A and B are shown apart, each in its own frame.
Chain A
Amino acid sequence: MSKNTVSDRFRKVDVDEYDENKFVDEDDGGENQAGPDDAEVDALLRQGNMNAALQAVLKNPPINTKNQSAKERAELLVVKVLSSFKSSDIEKAVGSLDQAAVDLLMKYIYRGFESPNDNSSAVLLQWHEKALAVGGVGSIVRVLTARKTI
């Protein structure tokens, strides 16, 4: 072999990393999204104001943070609120939400399915049915195609 072919470091370069068209998930800050406020939601639950508790718990979703504990806390809180509804009230509660909130509710429902405990899945299935009636298959599609998960 001649002298000018001694270095073969170029072979170890991963060319795909430098591809301009390579897809990268955008990373917007969102460090301020700490998830729904525990105290506020608990207070509303104790008062028995279910619809307001639902609205409150769907505020500030921890979508952009990488903080896993914030996401878990938010999910537990949402499941707690959803479990404290009576079956007959679910439909009305879902009806009071707007499109974006229904999508967010669907996201939380699917997130809740991932960690089933005691009765949570049964409750979530009821909520899923009602949310589906309002949001349609489109709300599920928006859960599947979301790049950032709650």
Chain B
Amino acid sequence: MSPPQTATLRPYLNAVKATLQAALCLENFSSQVVERHNKPEVEVRSSKELLLQPVVISRNDKEKVLIEGSINSVRVSIAVKQADEIEKILCHKFMRFMMMRAENFFILRRKPVEGYDINVQTQAGGLRHPLHGGDRQGDQRDETVR
């Protein structure tokens, strides 16, 4: 006999929160491949030593969260529960609506990772300047001034 669905919601959210707390330990890290460039390593995946183990937290086989971390960026992929066809369509349309406006959201990815519905991705600079959203070359200047 499986426990009612609502009983797993709190532990699921807490588990995701704790894992995010562990994964959102980012620092500014310029690209090792191209000089004067600063790329989100979780997207580029150029060097193995900069990437963390990807980790999944699942509530059941339909709802899960994939957290991939790296030294300067984190990508969170969320699979939303879609019980029937109509929910699938609604979810797809809603996610598409938001992802098309990803520029305004700053932390949204334009395309979801395979198998998931929506992605949240952030970089080290973005966490420090939530209003400006995203890493700026000015960050390196800020560090020396301080």
Given A116-B60, A116-B61, A116-B64: A144 and B11 interface contact (C-beta under 8 Å): no
Q: Could you say which of B15, B25, B52 contacts A129, with CB atoms under 8 Å apart?
A: B15
Interface check A119, CB cutoff 8 A: yes
Please state if A122 and B61 are interface contacts (CB–CB under 8 Å): no
Give the total of A residues in contact with B, Cβ under 8 Å.
24
Give the total of B residues in contact with A, Cβ under 8 Å.
28
A110 to B23, CA, bound (A): 14
User: Which A21-43 residues sit within 8 Å CB-CB of chain B?
Assistant: 23, 25
* Listed stretches B1-9, B83-91, B116-124, B135-143; interface member: B1-9
A126 to B15, CA, bound (A): 9
| Interface residues of chain A: helix, strand, loop or mixed (majority) | helix
Interface check A2, CB cutoff 8 A: no
Contacts of A143 in B (CB 8 A): 53, 55
Interface check A118, CB cutoff 8 A: yes
Please state if B21 and A116 are interface contacts (CB–CB under 8 Å): no
A positions within 8 Å CB-CB of B: 23, 25, 110, 113-114, 116-119, 121-122, 125-126, 128-129, 132, 137, 140-141, 143-146, 149
B positions within 8 Å CB-CB of A: 2-3, 7-8, 11-12, 14-15, 18-19, 21-23, 25, 47-49, 52-53, 55-61, 64, 69
User: Can you list 18 pairs linking A and B with CB atoms under 8 Å apart?
Assistant: A23-B48, A25-B48, A116-B60, A116-B61, A121-B59, A125-B59, A128-B11, A128-B15, A128-B18, A129-B15, A132-B18, A140-B19, A140-B22, A144-B22, A144-B23, A144-B53, A144-B55, A149-B53
